[in-house]
């Protein structure tokens, strides 16, 4: 056993003990202080901004001054993008480890650990559980403080977007058999697009929804729809019944001109059977062996809020390694200045190429959203959201530190 193991255990024990009364604005200082027990000279926590363009330093007393790090052009960003440990070699008596900060499987940021020597294999192994504890402390403090929410903003957020971000589940989840990852834009102005999911034993359930309109009215409708969806899902209702419940809430609480398109789906993680109902929404895409499969014939019901009969249930048998893409029309109908749509084929091709490049699933969607924005010269004409479900692809371990 390494002679530093007692110090590592003491660092974890001491940080955990101190965390019971730790306010969010002192997290950076506390982490820097306890990192010294691991043989580091200091540590800095960075959190991703909402757009996932920069990593923002969590500063405080005793924390060295740092500037935001670009995710696409920094060593800190490399650790975030690849969900791996990155290194800065010894220079002027300092070397650095950059470790991804993971909330379960969701990338929250990175931790920079500074050493007076080249970090050894033991240093790396001791840094892993320390960083995992820092991630847990960051997430729990974020639940009752605005410190990190303010830090992550690069500009003011619209009220509709505030509602939507608070409504979302974690953007990424993974287990031994499934990876679910989602993204949505524009980060500060999103209105009617949203998604939700839950994994209950062998069943993964999800909804991708696009509420008509923009801004606060669309966000309020989406919020009511997600609440109804969660209520029906937690009551154990089947997909047609949950769809009917959401439809009824929208029809009863909003004018006839307000509605939402959506796909509600269930995936049996044991068998790979995917079942869904479609309420006037773009159909899910299935990618198998790097190829977009032909669309599965499935009747679409009217949008939620306009239905007068039960939704039709469809199903398809997935194979291990399949990817299912759920999206809103803001993705494929994104139009370039010369009038060309982004389109389904470009969407599927992007996912396939990112997989071949070895990108972790959340990085695929981060880059996809950048591509959609670039396609429209930097400004979306409509909200855009996407969820990719991967069943038994073997990439689940890419999201573990």
pLDDT in tens, 267-284: 999 999 999 999 999 999
pLDDT value at residue 214: 87
Q: Is residue 385 scored above 70 in pLDDT?
A: yes
> Residue 65: exposed, middle, or buried by beta-carbon count in 10 A (0-12, 13-18, 19+)?
exposed
Per-residue pLDDT tens for 224-236? 999 999 999 999 9
Per-residue pLDDT tens for 141-190? 888 899 999 999 999 999 999 999 999 999 999 998 999 999 998 888 88
Q: Is residue 217 scored above 80 in pLDDT?
A: yes
Hey, what's the torsion of the CAs at 238, 243, 248, 250, to 10 degrees? 140
State whether 127 and 245 are in the same domain.
no
**Final residue in a domain of this structure, among 107, 125, 151:** 151
pLDDT value at residue 396: 64
Task: In whole angstroms, give the CA distance from residue 101 to residue 48.
Answer: 10
**Final residue in a domain of this structure, among 151, 184, 211:** 151
Q: How many domains does the chain have?
A: 2
State whether 271 and 371 are in the same domain.
yes
What is the token pair recorded at 81? 């993008």
The H or E element that residue 185 is part of is: strand 178-185
**Final residue in a domain of this structure, among 115, 134, 151:** 151
Distances (CA, A) of 94 to 40, 110, 113: 10, 18, 10
**Structural domain that includes position 36:** 5-151
Q: Nearest Cα to 382, choosing from 309, 303, 310, 328?
A: 328
pLDDT value at residue 398: 65
State whether 170 and 126 are in the same domain.
no
Average pLDDT, the chain: 91
Cis peptide before 186 (omega within 30 of 0): yes
Per-residue pLDDT tens for 313-369? 999 999 999 999 999 998 998 898 988 999 988 998 998 888 888 888 899 999 999
User: Do 315 and 273 touch, CB atoms closer than 8 A?
Assistant: yes
pLDDT value at residue 395: 67
State whether 362 and 235 are in the same domain.
yes
Instruction: Work out the pLDDT band at 4, boundaries 50, 70, 90.
Output: low
What is the token pair recorded at 243? 């769809």
State whether 120 and 173 are in the same domain.
no
State whether 137 and 221 are in the same domain.
no
State whether 144 and 206 are in the same domain.
no
State whether 50 and 143 are in the same domain.
yes
Q: Is residue 196 scored above 90 in pLDDT?
A: yes
Hey, what's the torsion of the CAs at 240, 246, 249, 253, to 10 degrees? -140
Q: What is the CATH number of the domain that holds 10?
A: 3.30.450.40
State whether 312 and 178 are in the same domain.
yes
State whether 205 and 348 are in the same domain.
yes
State whether 278 and 132 are in the same domain.
no
Minimum mean pLDDT range among 118-122, 145-149, 308-312, 365-369 = 308-312
For 24, which DSSP code? G
State whether 103 and 41 are in the same domain.
yes
């Amino acid at each position: 056993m390494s002679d530093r193991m007692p110090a590592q255990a003491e660092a974890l024990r001491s940080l955990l003990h101190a965390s019971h009364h730790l306010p969010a604005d002192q997290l950076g200082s506390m982490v820097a202080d306890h990192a010294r027990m691991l043989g580091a000279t200091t540590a800095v926590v960075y959190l991703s901004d909402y757009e996932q363009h920069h990593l923002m330093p969590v500063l405080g007393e005793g924390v060295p001054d740092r500037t935001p790090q670009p995710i696409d052009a920094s060593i800190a960003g490399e650790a975030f993008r690849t969900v791996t440990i990155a290194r800065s070699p010894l220079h002027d008596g300092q070397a650095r480890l950059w470790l991804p900060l993971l909330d379960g499987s969701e990338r929250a940021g990175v931790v920079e650990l500074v050493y007076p020597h080249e970090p050894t294999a033991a240093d790396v192994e001791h840094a892993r559980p320390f960083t995992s504890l820092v991630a847990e402390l960051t997430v729990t403090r974020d639940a009752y403080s605005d410190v990190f929410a303010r830090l992550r903003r690069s500009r003011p957020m619209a009220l509709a977007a505030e509602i939507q971000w608070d409504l979302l589940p974690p953007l990424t989840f993974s287990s031994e058999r499934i990876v679910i990852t989602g993204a949505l834009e524009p980060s500060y102005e999103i209105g009617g697009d949203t998604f939700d999911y839950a994994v209950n034993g062998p069943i993964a359930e999800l909804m991708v929804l696009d509420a008509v309109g923009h801004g606060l009215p669309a966000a309020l409708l989406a919020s009511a729809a997600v609440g109804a969806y969660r209520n029906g899902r937690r009551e154990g209702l089947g997909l047609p019944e949950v769809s009917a419940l959401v439809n009824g809430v929208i029809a009863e609480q909003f004018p006839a001109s307000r509605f939402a398109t959506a796909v509600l789906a269930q995936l049996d993680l044991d068998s790979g059977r995917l079942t869904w109902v479609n309420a006037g929404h773009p159909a899910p895409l299935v990618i198998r062996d790097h190829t977009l499969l032909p669309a599965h014939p499935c009747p679409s019901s009217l949008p939620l809020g306009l239905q007068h009969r039960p939704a039709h249930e469809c199903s398809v048998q997935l194979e291990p390694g399949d990817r299912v893409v759920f999206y809103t029309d803001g993705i494929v109908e994104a139009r370039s200045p010369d009038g060309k749509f982004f389109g389904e084929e470009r969407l599927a091709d992007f996912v396939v190429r990112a997989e071949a490049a070895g990108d972790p699933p959340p990085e695929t969607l981060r880059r996809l959203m950048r591509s959609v924005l670039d396609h429209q010269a930097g400004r979306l004409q409509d909200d855009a959201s996407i969820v990719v479900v991967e069943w038994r692809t073997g990439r689940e371990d890419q999201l573990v530190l």
